[in-house]
Structure 1
Amino acid sequence: MDEKKKVHACWRMIRISPQKLGVIVSCLRGKSLKNAVKILDGMRKSIAPDVKKFLISAKSNAVNNFQLNPDALHVSEISVGKNMVLRRRHIGGRSHSGEIRKPFSQVRVVLEEK
């Protein structure tokens, strides 16, 4: 029986909103790992190089810890979730204040060997 091997990786406390990160991550779902890295190379978003580093790190963990073939890996699942939110105060004119929300997010990826 041919069983597919899966490897999970999680990256937490990313200082970007989940909505912005979700745009980048949705392009990678279901692609091979080589194609996903090429897609991230062509993106002009500021977080794209960091996501690329994360995917390469997940690949090296899969190869070194679980002895998977690096050429056969593909992104079977990738999801973005909310993490904590920093709340800051902005003091305006006449002593009025408003809240500034600085959201953090997290990414979970599952690499699968075909």
Structure 2
Amino acid sequence: MEVKAIVKDTGYSALKVRLCVDLVRGKKVSEAITLLRFMTSPTAKVVSKVIKSAAANAENNFQMNPADLKISQIYADEARMLKRMRPQARGRVSPILKRSSHITVVVAD
């Protein structure tokens, strides 16, 4: 059985989140959390929280053993962008795109 957890509109771009996500894909939940704990990237904390949430959903809602859970799918999609303007020379402006992402984790036993 597969159990899902999603976090939406994180403050990090999908490109930065995918660096952490690619490291833990296919690993056991406990191993992935240990791996993310020692990463220096601030996105590792967010990814770790989503993995813990998916494991808790599996344990509490479906009575699955958390020691047996494995990350079957994990991905980061682009979310909405906040568009801001930055003043430039000669009265012009250039855009600033503040990107965010959605992180989805699917665990299975």
TM bracket (short chain) = over 0.9
Scaled by the length of structure 2, the TM-score of the pair is 0.95
- Looking at structure 1, the residues matched to 58 and 96 of structure 2 have their Cα atoms a distance apart, in angstroms, of 39
Residue 17 of structure 2: aligned partner = 21
1:85 & 1:26 partners in 2: Cα distance?
Answer: 23
What's the offset of the Cα at 1:104? 1.0
Runs of 4 or more off by more than 4 Å in structure 1? none
Give the aligned residue type for 1:32: K
Q: Tell me how large the CA RMSD over aligned residues is.
A: 0.9
The match for 2:68 among 52, 72, 82 is 72
Q: What corresponds to 1:104 in structure 2?
A: 100
How far did residue 10 of structure 1 move?
Answer: 1.1
Shift of 1:91: 0.9
Q: Report the TM-score when normalising by structure 1.
A: 0.91
Superposed displacement of residue 93, structure 1: 2.6
Distance in 2 separating the partners of 1:18 and 1:44: 17
- What is the aligned-residue identity percentage? 32
Q: Is the 8 A contact 2:47 2:103 kept in 1?
A: no
